[in-house]
């Protein structure tokens, strides 16, 4: 028994050291020019928080992720973020900030393992309803007024009832005069009763200062309401 124990322990220690060395080696030898930057910002009115998640993929989105804990640095609005990880998402950098403190300009600064900096700046403005929706809506045209959007911008509109076989609505609408319009024809596929409304302001852009691997910034903010639909 003891003989097997002493034979096993060195093997385990050797395995741990080998894995640790391999992990350290991979971090040190990653070429920053092949990194794909994936920056996501999202929030909604209900939670009152905005989440920022920053990830760095080797080669392309969906590849292996990189942690720069020792060889580089990731900062959001001047604050250094620490890496986290999960089996599903790999390595990522994340922050959650109250919505009331998030409106306005923000910056992301990534310093690679060669001490070169890549800076990305963006503005965040949430959407809100100009007037609260009534609890009951009849099948006639109605307008939804929105704050935080300019004419010509688009939103994603979702309308669904509780019927299993209902198709609902999932489409992109263009904002005109700070509003979007729901017509009786839009409601033809909706059954009477509770209807769930979701409106999302979404955007995705290539980064202004990516490495040669490229990258994107996506921002999403949404609001939800429930009303009763009647004839």
Domain range list for the chain:
128-202+221-230
Q: What 8-state DSSP symbol labels residue 82?
A: P
Q: How many Å apart are CA 169 and CA 158, to the nearest integer?
A: 5
CB atoms within 10 A of CB 17: 10
| CATH (residue range 128-202+221-230) | 2.60.40.10
Burial (0-12, 13-18, 19+ Cβ within 10 Å), 85: exposed
Assign 143 a pLDDT band (cuts: 50, 70, 90).
very high
The answer for residues whose C-beta is within 8 angstroms of residue 52's C-beta and 6 or more apart is 39, 40, 41, 76, 94, 95, 96, 97
CA count, 13 A, side-chain hemisphere, 53: 14
Q: How many Å apart are CA 224 and CA 231, to the nearest integer?
A: 22
CA-wise closest residue to 202 among 140, 165, 136, 158: 158
Phi then psi for residue 102, to 5 deg, are -110, -15
Which of 3-17, 122-136, 198-212 is predicted with the least confidence, judged by mean pLDDT? 3-17
pLDDT of residue 101 exceeding 80, the answer is yes
CA count, 13 A, side-chain hemisphere, 142: 13
Assign 165 a pLDDT band (cuts: 50, 70, 90).
low
The answer for residues whose C-beta is within 8 angstroms of residue 170's C-beta and 6 or more apart is 156, 157, 158
pLDDT of residue 60 exceeding 50, the answer is yes
Q: How many Å apart are CA 95 and CA 127, to the nearest integer?
A: 21
Please give the model's pTM, rounded to 2 decimal places. 0.80
pLDDT at 26: 41
pLDDT at 23: 33
CB 65 within 8 A of CB 91: yes
Phi then psi for residue 184, to 5 deg, are -55, -35
């Amino acid at each position: 028994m003891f003989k097997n124990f002493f034979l096993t322990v060195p093997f385990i220690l050797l395995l741990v050291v080998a894995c640790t060395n391999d992990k350290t080696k991979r971090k040190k030898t990653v070429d920053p020019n092949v990194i794909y930057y994936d920056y996501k910002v999202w929030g909604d009115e209900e939670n009152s928080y905005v989440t920022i998640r920053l990830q760095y993929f080797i080669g392309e989105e969906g590849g292996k992720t990189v942690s720069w804990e020792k060889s580089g640095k990731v900062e959001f609005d001047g604050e250094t973020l620490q890496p986290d990880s999960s089996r599903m998402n790999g390595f990522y950098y994340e922050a959650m900030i109250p919505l009331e403190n998030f409106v306005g300009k923000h910056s992301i600064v990534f310093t690679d393992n060669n001490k070169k900096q890549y800076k990305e700046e963006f503005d965040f403005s949430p959407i809100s309803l100009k007037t609260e929706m009534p609890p009951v809506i009849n099948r006639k045209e109605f307008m939804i007024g929105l704050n935080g959007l300019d004419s010509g911008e688009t939103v994603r509109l979702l309308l669904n009832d509780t019927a299993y076989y209902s198709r609902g609505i999932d489409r992109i609408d263009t904002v005109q005069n700070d509003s979007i319009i729901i017509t009786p024809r839009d409601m033809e596929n909706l059954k009477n009763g509770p209807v769930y409304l979701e409106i999302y302001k979404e955007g995705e852009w290539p980064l202004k200062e990516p490495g040669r691997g490229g990258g994107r910034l996506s921002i999403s903010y949404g609001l939800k309401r429930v009303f009763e639909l009647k004839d």
